Every structure is written in C-alpha cells, then in structure tokens.
Amino acid sequence: MIKVLHVVGARPNFMKVAPVMRALAAHPGRFLQRLVHTGQHYEEAMSQVFFDELEIAPPDENLEVGSGSHAGQTAQIMIRFEPVLKGFAPDWVMVVGDVNSTMACTLVAAKLGVRVAHVEAGLRSFDRTMPEEINRLVTDALADLLLTPSSDADENLRREGISPDRIRQVGNVMIDTLCRNLEKARARLVHRRLGVEPRRFIYVTLHRPSNVDGRESLSAIVDCLRDMAKGLPVVFPVHPRTRQRLVDFGLLGALESQPGMKLIVPVGYLDSIGLADQASCVLTDSGGLQEETTFLQVPCLTLRPNTERPITISQGSNRLTTLGTLRADLEAAIRRRESREQLPCPPLWDGRSAERIADVLLER
C-alpha cells in the first residue's frame, strides 16, 4: 500500500489534483490517499465551488492558513503542515503547481526525509520578481520526482543540473480535467445566460498586481476594454482584488456604464471553461487559461512580459501582449478565431496524464 498525501492551497491546484486522485483510486488496494487543503486562498466560498464542480471529496485536513505576506503565509503553512505529515507518515507528498503551499510543504517533507512528487514541474518564466518562480525553483530543487507537462520543462530541469532519473514527462493534468468536464461545461450554456452569441465576445480575466495594482496600467486596460466593447461584448468576471483597485482608482463606474461591458462575479471552473470555449478570444494574465485555450484552439492573449508556459506559444494559440499593443493584438486574435486556424496540441496533452502519474508511482 503506497500512502500519498496530496496538498492543495489555491483554486488552480484543484484542477490538477482532482485527476491524480481519481487515477490513483482506479488501483484498488494499491494507494491510500489523504488530501490537505492549506486554506491559502482567502475566500473559501470561491474554493468550495471548485471542490463541488470537480467532484473532489472534502479535504481530510484544512490548515486554514488564510492570506498574509509571502513569508508569513509560508511560515504558517510549514508550522501547521508538519504535525499532519508526521501523523500520516506518507510514502509520498504530492504537490502541484507553484503556489506558496507547494513550496512550503515541499520544504517540510524534505527536512523530514519524506519523498516529494511535483506535478507540473520544470515550468520557468525566468523572472525571479514573480513569487511563483521562486516557488518553482525551490520545489524542483528538493523534489524527488519531477512530473513534467512538456519537453521544454524537461530541458529546464536538465539545464539546472537535475538528474534525468528524477524527471518523467507525463503530460498536462489540467487537460485531463478539461477533457473530463468539457461537455458538462458546454451544456451549461453560460454565454447564452449572459446574453452573448457564441464566438462573438471577448472573455477577460485579470488579477496580477503588475496589471491591476497601478493606476496607469489599470486605466489603460479599462480604456482598451471600453473601446473593444463598442464592437464586441466583453465578459469580465472581476476578481476581488481587481474590483477593489477599480474602486480605489475611480474606474469602476466607467466600465459599468459602457454598453457591451458585462462585469460579473468570479465564475466557477465549468463556467470559465464554457466561456473560454465559446469566446472570440481570451485576454488573461493567469496560467491555466493559457493551457486550456491551447487545447480548445481559442486565441489567447496573455498580458504579461513572459510566460512559464512557452509551449502554449510555440505549439498553441497563446500570444504575449503589452498595454501598448493590446488593442491591435485583440483585433488580430479575433481575426484568427474567424479564420478557424487549427494548431496541433502539445504531445501527451491527451487527457491521460494522471494515469501516467499513477503508473510512475507504481513503478517506484
């Protein structure tokens, strides 16, 4: 019996852990699994939607860490995770993604001599001003098993001196979750409920501090979205952080009053997939949508100077954009959607990545 302790901390982790837990459960009597939710995400109600939609059982432990500075949050996770780890005494700690919980629990496990498997290992933005990049580097340096989504991630790890016998390319578990839930998401017809036509709207998600915390940058984004909404509806689920900045800078009224702008509350996973699938194009600064739109073959613009998922650019529908080129890039993305340009998906993005993870653990 292989004992596996899974760790989630924020909503992006849920889509990654769900297929892995399901794949391990498909081997009766071989795995004993426990799920720890660190409670890193500050709005538990939003987290619960993802648990429900992805059919994840309630966590066995909720550390209820909450928000805080990076140092304070990381320290609290480590302090609260250590007794849980000692109590369960797993063979493997399974961490996913690149949030503070990923790094913090990896540190605790490594110091206690417990093996760590990192799902989505090897991604690099090469920008150490991003907290997530620090989390990736530390986690991958300490993890015993690096489960990568693509060949570029393998290359990054080898360049950093990671032994090849610690690296296994398994594919993208986010795509496992997408494949399982796509038809369910489509059946919800969220675009129809919002009163927009399929392939005739822009879907926007923005929350990164570099985009929303500065008055100048957020004003430029608002101006662009208002202009675009004159031609195509813009569906914008407003993250709590972004909404607060819109209020702080006196920009919310200008967006709300613009015909064609549909500001809505944050949506769950299924509605997000449904919107991305039916959009003319997607504008985002998150990581997951870059991958999901690549699989869906929907043009995506990532409002960042870099991406830790370059394969979504070289082999997908993703493009980086800046405030200076945003409007022109949006117009070009809409034209690409209208041309129905088809691009192959990266290798192993086939909905079976979690099965390969189970096989690797059984081999070891």
- Which residues are catalytically annotated? 207
For residue 194, with 0-12 CB atoms within 10 Å meaning exposed, 13-18 middle and 19 or more buried, which class applies?
middle
Q: At a CB cut-off of 8 Å and minimum separation 6, what does 164 contact?
A: 158
Beta strands in 102-229 (DSSP E): 115-119, 145-148, 167-169, 202-205
In angstroms, the CA 118 to CA 47 distance is 22
In angstroms, the CA 138 to CA 127 distance is 14
215-229 helix and 326-339 helix, angle to the nearest 10 degrees: 40
Among residues 48, 279, 288, which one has the least CA distance to residue 186? 279
Among residues 104, 127, 96, which one has the least CA distance to residue 17? 96
In angstroms, the CA 265 to CA 240 distance is 9
Residue 234 backbone phi and psi in degrees, to 5: -120, 115
- Alpha helix (H) residue ranges in 230-279: 240-248, 252-256, 269-278
In angstroms, the CA 38 to CA 76 distance is 9
